[in-house]
């Protein structure tokens, strides 16, 4: 698999190093020639000097045969155009963007970028998960389908406690996939009864995540 990484900041450098370590064919594109020289010394001949938003650079990088292009510069507008050019002119099958302003994640997907990664949102999620009182946590967003994996902690006062799953009216496009109860992981059936202390793992469409949140944490 051939991967092109655009943007030689810290993210781009360590990403390239890690991908090389995993055995992928990788090329890192960086605009500043001084940085390129230093990268070549450290990584070998897998670095190209140039502006990744310019078709000539992508051409020289062999973008037409790239399986994935990843844009991780510090500017969202650059990451967007780099990936749109890769898709439009070189028909790259998979595009991954670093999104600096978390508000741009939705916009990028609207504009045809396959995968967006926001460090800010990622760190926010980690913080949420590490707060013990948080009763409803967004664990992961699934690419393409706008699906999220969420976790809800059930308490003695939860409205759904002591109810069988089959009796509960869930929002559409939401399904409970597992119940973490102490040492046991339960794969639920309609007759499984929810108990206080359960950690419920569910898959929810983004549009109905809030509805599910209200249902599960309501008392």
Strand partners, 95: 69
Q: Are 3 and 15 in contact (CB under 8 A)?
A: no
- Least Å distance, CB 166 to other proteins, is 42
Q: Which stretch binds other proteins (CB under 8 A): 18-26, 50-58, 91-99, 181-189?
A: 50-58
Q: Which stretch binds other proteins (CB under 8 A): 49-57, 151-159, 179-187, 205-213?
A: 49-57
- List the interface residues with other proteins, window 159-178 (CB under 8 A): none
What is d(CA 216, CA 219) in angstroms, rounded to the nearest whole number?
A: 8
Q: Are 12 and 42 in contact (CB under 8 A)?
A: no
Distance, CA of 42 to chain centre: 29
Q: Does 148 bind other proteins (CB under 8 A)?
A: no
Nearer to other proteins by Cβ, of 93 and 166: the residue is 93
- Least Å distance, CB 161 to other proteins, is 41
- Least Å distance, CB 77 to other proteins, is 4
What is d(CA 211, CA 41) in angstroms, rounded to the nearest whole number?
A: 53
Nearer to other proteins by Cβ, of 84 and 95: the residue is 84
Q: Are 150 and 144 in contact (CB under 8 A)?
A: no
- List the interface residues with other proteins, window 57-116 (CB under 8 A): 75-78, 80-81, 84-85, 88-89, 101, 103-104, 107, 110-111
Binding mask 178-207 for other proteins (x = CB under 8 A): ------------------------------
Crossing angle of helices 33-43 and 10-21, in 10° steps, is 30
Q: What are the structure tokens assigned to 25, written together?
A: 């064919």
Return the closest-CA partner of residue 96 out of 24, 206, 5: 5
Q: What are the structure tokens assigned to 62, written together?
A: 């062999």
Contacts to other proteins by CB under 8 A: 53-56, 75-78, 80-81, 84-85, 88-89, 101, 103-104, 107, 110-111
């Amino acid at each position: 698999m051939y991967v092109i990484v655009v943007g030689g900041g810290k993210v781009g450098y360590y990403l390239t190093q890690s991908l090389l370590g995993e055995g992928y064919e990788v090329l890192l594109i960086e605009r500043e020639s001084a940085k390129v020289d230093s990268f070549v010394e450290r990584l070998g001949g897998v670095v190209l000097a140039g502006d990744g938003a310019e078709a000539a650079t992508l051409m020289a990088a062999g973008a037409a045969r790239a399986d994935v292009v990843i844009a991780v510069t510090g500017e969202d507008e650059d990451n967007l155009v780099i990936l749109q050019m890769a898709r439009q002119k070189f028909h790259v099958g998979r595009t991954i963007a670093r999104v600096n302003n978390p508000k741009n994640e939705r916009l990028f997907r609207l504009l045809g970028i396959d995968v967006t990664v926001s460090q800010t949102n990622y760190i926010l999620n980690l913080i949420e998960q590490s707060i013990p009182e948080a009763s409803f946590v967004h664990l992961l967003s699934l690419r393409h389908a706008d699906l999220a994996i969420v976790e809800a902690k059930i308490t003695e006062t939860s409205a759904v406690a002591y109810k069988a799953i089959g009796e509960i009216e869930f929002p559409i496009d939401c399904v409970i996939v597992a119940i973490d109860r102490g040492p046991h992981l339960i794969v639920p059936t309609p007759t499984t009864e929810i108990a206080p202390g359960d950690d419920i793992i569910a898959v929810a469409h983004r549009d109905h995540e809030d509805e599910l949140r209200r249902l599960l944490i309501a008392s």
